[in-house]
Structure 1
C-alpha cells in the first residue's frame, strides 16, 4: 500500500473519531407518516447524534449510513434466533448478507440478538430463551471467520430479567433464567469483552407508584429526596442509577462484577392518553436533557456502584411512531415529529446550558387521574418494584 493511501486512510479514521456525541438514538419505523430513510439520517446527523440503533438490517439504511460518522447497532429479529442457534451456516449467511456488504464503510459496532427475548413468557418464548446464547456464539464465530473483531455481540433485555430490584444491593435475576440463560450469557459477554444491554425506563415504575417515588427523583432532580441502600450504604439521587445498580449487583452475585452496561433504550413519553400519568412534553424534555448532560459529562459520572464508568446510551426514539400498538404513550416517545421538526429543544452533545433552552408548556397530568386507570406497563412495574423507595 502506498504512503498516500495510508495517509488517506488515517485521515478518514481521524475524521470519524470525532463523532459529535456519545449519545445514540433509536431509529424505529413503525409509522406510516415518517420521513424517508435518507431524510431521517440527515436529521440524525444534523442533531449531532453519535450512534444509531435500528431494529433490523435494512439495506437502504445501512447503505446510507456509510456516508456518516454514526456508530451503528443492528438488531437480529427474534424469529431468526432459533435458526441461527441451530445451524452455523445460517449464522454465516446472516453475516454475509447483512454485515459484509456494508462493513467497514458503515461503522457497525454492535450486533444485537433479538429484542427483550427474556420477556416473552410462552412456549415459543422459552425456546428463544434456550437458543439465545447459542445464537450469540454462532454470530461471534461467523464474525471471527471473517476476521472482524471490532463488532460486539449482545442482546437488549428489559428490567423484568430481575426478580427484585430494591434496594439495589438485594437484587437478583429471575430464578427461571438465572442458571440456564444468565450465567452462560454473562460468561459469553465477559469472554468477548462485550456489554450488558438494558432497556431501562424510570417512567414506568414512577408512573405506577408516584405516591412513593417522587417525580423529581425520576427526572434527575432528586438532590433533595435521596435514598440510601441499607445493604451497601450507597446513596441515590435518581431512579435511573437505582435501576442500573440493581443489574450491577445481580451480575456480581453470579460472579461477573465487571461487565459494562449499555443503555439500549431509555426515554420519557411526550404525550399519551388522559389516564397516563406524567406523559407530557416538559417531563420528556427534562428527563432527556438531564440524561444527556449526565451521560456526556467528562470524566464520566457512572453510578454509585460504579463511579467514573461511562455508559453508552441510546434514547428512544427518533420519531413519534403512529403505528405502534398499545396505550397512547407507545406512540409518543419521539424527539421529533414525523415532519422532522423537534417536539422540544434537545442538544445531544450535552453542551447547551439548560437556561438556554426555550420555555416549555406547563403540564397538567403530573397528578393521578381520578378515574379508571389503564393497565399501562404493568409488566414494567412488576419487574421494577421500587415501592419501598419513599422519597
Structure 2
C-alpha cells in the first residue's frame, strides 16, 4: 500500500513537472481570406518545413484538418460569429458539429483548443450575449465524447475589452461588457482555459505615434516606461498590454487565469500614411517577439510566466478589406517563399540541409549549430568549446558585438566556428558530436564578425575575460528548465 501511495505521488509530480517543462510556444495563424493561396496539403508541408508546431485556423475546415493529420502540429480551430446563434440555442447543434467536424479527424489531427467567437465586441452585430451559452454547449458536447480535458474551450477578444490599459497597473475591463465577461471568466476558471486576446502594438503606434514610440512598439530597448503605481519598468508595449490584462483580471479576483495571445504581428506593407508598415519593421517586431517569448522572459508583473503567442499571419490575404496593411501581414508568399527571414525557434542562426550542401565561389566555409541538435547537447558543446576547447568566447558576453541575439544557438554558432577555424577548418573540427554543421553562407552580422581560416583575431579579441563567462547567460536561461526535467528523470526511476 505504501509503495502504491509513493508511486501515485511520483506520478503526480511527474505530470506536474512535465507541464512546467512545456515552456512558452510560438504559433502562426492560418487565415484564408485570399484567392491565391496554396492547397492545405502544401500549407501543411510549409509549416513542417519551418518547424512550426502550433497553428490557428478560424473554422473547422475539413480539407485543412485532413492536411494536418499525422503532422504533430497542434491546431486551434474556431467557431465563427455567424454560428454562435444556433450553437447557443440547441445542444444538438453543438453535438452534431462535433460529430461531423471534429471526431472523424481527432486525434490524428491534434486539436488542442476551440475558440468560440472572434472579437465579438468588435463585430457589427451584437453577438456578445451568445458567446458563453455557445461555449457551454460545445464544452458539454466535448464532455459527452470524453474530450473536455484534452480540448479546451475559450473565445478570442481584442484589447478593446479593456476600458483602461495605461498604466498597466490600472488595467480594467470595460463595464459595458460585464454582462458576458464575468460569466465567461468564470467558465475559464472552472475549466482551466486561457483568456485569449489579440494584441497589436502596430496599431498602438500607428494611431498614436506621439504617445507610443516606434522603438517601444518594436521591442527595441532604447525606450522604457515606468508604471507610477508599481514602479515596474516596461521596455515594450506588448508587455505593458499583457500586464494590463493581468491587473484587470486581478481586480476582479480572477488570479489563476492565464493569457494566450491568439494574434499579434506587424504588416510588411501599407498605404502612404502607414510608414511603419515595412518588411524591416515586421522582421524586427516578430524576431524580437519570438526571442522574448521563447526565452520565457515573462512580463514585469509576471516574470518568467509562460506565454503562448500566435503570429498573424501565415500568408498575405488579398481579399481582406480596409487599408493596404490589412492585406500584408503574411510571413510567406503563396509560392512558399518568405516575405522576410524569420526563425520560429528563437534560437538564432539555424542551418538547413541546403546550406550545408551548397558551395560558394571562394570555397570558404563556416561551422554553426545544427538545427536538429538538442538544447542540452548545444549547451554541453558550448561549455566545452569555451573551456577545454580554448575558444575565446568574450565576443558573446553581454555588451560585446556577438552577444545579441542572446540565444543559445547564436552563441554556440559563434563558438563552434571559432574552434573550427582555429583547428584547420576540417570536418572533424565541426563535428561536436553531430551538433555542428558546415555552411557556405557567411553567418556574420552587424559588428559580429565570424572568423575565417587564417584569422588571427575574433570580434572581441582585445577584451579580457574568462572564457566561460560567455556561457553564463545561456546557462542561467536554461537552468530552471533543465533542473525541472532532471527531476522528471529522477522521478521516473521510481515509477
Q: What TM-score do you get using the length of structure 1 for normalisation?
A: 0.82
Structure 1 segment 178-189 matched on structure 2, within 5 A: 178=178, 180-189=179-188
For residues 247 and 229 of structure 1, the distance between their equivalents in structure 2, rounded to whole angstroms, comes to: 14
1:75–1:112 Cα contact (<8 Å) kept:
yes
From the superposition, tell whether residues 276 and 207 of structure 1 become closer, same or farther in structure 2 (CA, over 3 Å): same
Residue 302 of structure 1 is matched in structure 2 by 298
Which of residues 312, 320, 326 is equivalent to 1:324?
A: 320
Query: Between Structure 1 and Structure 2, whose CA radius of gyration is higher?
Result: 2
Counterpart Cα distance in 1 of 2:267 and 2:246: 26
The equivalences for 1:282-297 within 5 A come to 282-297=280-295
Describe the shift of the 1:188–1:70 C-alpha distance in structure 2 as closer, same or farther (beyond 3 A).
same
Aligned mates of 1:137, 1:202 — CA distance in 2: 32
In the other structure, the counterpart of 1:344 is 340
Between the aligned partners of 1:92 and 1:336, the Cα distance in structure 2 is 36
Count of residues in correspondence between the two structures = 334
Maintained 8 Å contact 1:22/1:49 = no
- Partner Cα separation in structure 2 for residue 35 and residue 311 of structure 1: 30
Q: Structure 2 matches for 1:124-163, cutoff 5 A?
A: 124-125=125-126, 128-148=127-147, 149-163=149-163
Which residue pairs with 2:234 in the alignment? 236
Q: Please tell me whether the aligned partners of residues 265 and 329 of structure 2 are also in contact (alpha carbons under 8 angstroms).
A: yes
Please list, as runs of the form range in 1=range in 2, the aligned pairs for 1:95-244 lying within 5 A after superposition: 95-120=98-123, 124-125=125-126, 128-148=127-147, 149-178=149-178, 180-222=179-221, 224-244=222-242
How much has 1:264 moved relative to structure 2?
0.1
Query: Quick one: distance in 1 between partners of 2:330 and 2:58?
Result: 15
TM-aligned CA deviation for residue 211 of structure 1: 2.1
Structure 1 residues 78 and 335 mapped into 2: Cα distance closer, same or farther (>3 Å)?
same
CA distance in 2, matches of 1:202, 1:21: 20
How many Å separate the matches in 2 of 1:142 and 1:256? 26
Q: Which runs of 5+ in 1 are unaligned?
A: 1-17, 360-391
Aligned equivalents of 1:150 and 1:20: distance in 2?
Answer: 18
Higher relative contact order (CA 8 A, sep 6+): 1
Is the 8 Å Cα contact of residues 221 and 237 (structure 1) preserved in structure 2?
A: yes
Which residue of structure 1 lines up, in the alignment, with residue 386 of structure 2?
Answer: none
Distance 2:334 2:164 in 1: 38
The 1:270/1:247 distance shift into structure 2, 3 A limit, reads same
**CA-CA distance at 1:258 after TM superposition:** 2.0
Residues 21 and 349 in structure 1, CA contact (< 8 A), matched pair in contact too: no
Conserved? CA contact 1:21–1:49, under 8 Å: no
Distance 1:117 1:47 in 2: 32
CA contact 1:19–1:70 (8 Å) conserved in 2: no
